[in-house]
Amino acid sequence: MTLFDLLEKKDLKELLVKCWMTHDGSWFYNCARELGIDTANKLNKAAIKNLSVIEMQRVKKALGQEKLKIKTFDQLKDFVNSAFSVIKGDFMDFEYTFLDDNRIHWEMNSCFAYNGMKMIGFHKQYECGVIYRIGCWLDALGIEYTILPEIDVCLLNSQEKCTGDIIVNI
C-alpha cells in the first residue's frame, strides 16, 4: 500500500498545498538572497501573474466549465468557493465572506506568507503576493475589481491586521 492509498483526500490536499507553499517560499528566499528583495518581489509578482492564468484554466477544466464566463456575483461565489476548496490549505488561516454589495471581504487571522517572510528576515520589504494572486485570478477570469486598501508592502507592516475588501464589477 502506498502513501497515496493511505491518505484521505483532505490530508492529501493539505500535504500538496504545504509542499507547494514551501517551494514557493524557498524560491522567494533564494531569489531575495541572490538578487535582492526588490528583484525577488518583482519576479514573484511576475510568476504569480503567469501562474494565475494557468490556475484558473485548470480549475475551470476540473469543474467541467472550460468555457465559463462569470456574469453574476453568485457565479463568482460558487467558483471561488470551489477553487478554494482545493487551493486553500488549513494552515492558511484566513476567512473570506461575500457581502451583498459585490464585495469579498477577507481577514487574515495569521498570515502564512508574512510569517514565512518574518522567518527569513524579509517581512518589512515583502510585497504581498497573497492578495495579488487573488487579483490576478480575477484578471484571468475577466472580472473588473478594486482592492481596498491598495496594497504594496504587506499590510501587517502598516496596520494591526491584514483585512480588506475586493469590490467586483459584475
Q: What is the pLDDT of residue 109?
A: 85
**How many Å apart are CA 44 and CA 27, to the nearest integer?**
9
The pTM for the full model equals: 0.92
pLDDT digits (tens, 9 = 90+) for 73-122: 999 999 999 999 999 999 999 999 999 889 999 999 889 999 999 999 99
Question: What residue type is assigned to position 58 of the chain?
Answer: R
Percent of the chain with pLDDT over 90: 92
H helices of the chain, where?
Answer: 3-6, 9-35, 37-62, 73-87, 112-120, 130-140
Q: What is the pLDDT of residue 12?
A: 96
**How many Å apart are CA 29 and CA 126, to the nearest integer?**
11
Q: Domains in the chain, ordered, with CATH?
A: 3-169 (3.30.1380)
56 pLDDT exceeds 90? yes
35 pLDDT exceeds 90? yes
Assigned C-alpha cell, 129: 503576493
Considering only CA atoms, give the Rg of the chain.
17
pLDDT digits (tens, 9 = 90+) for 141-150: 999 999 999 9
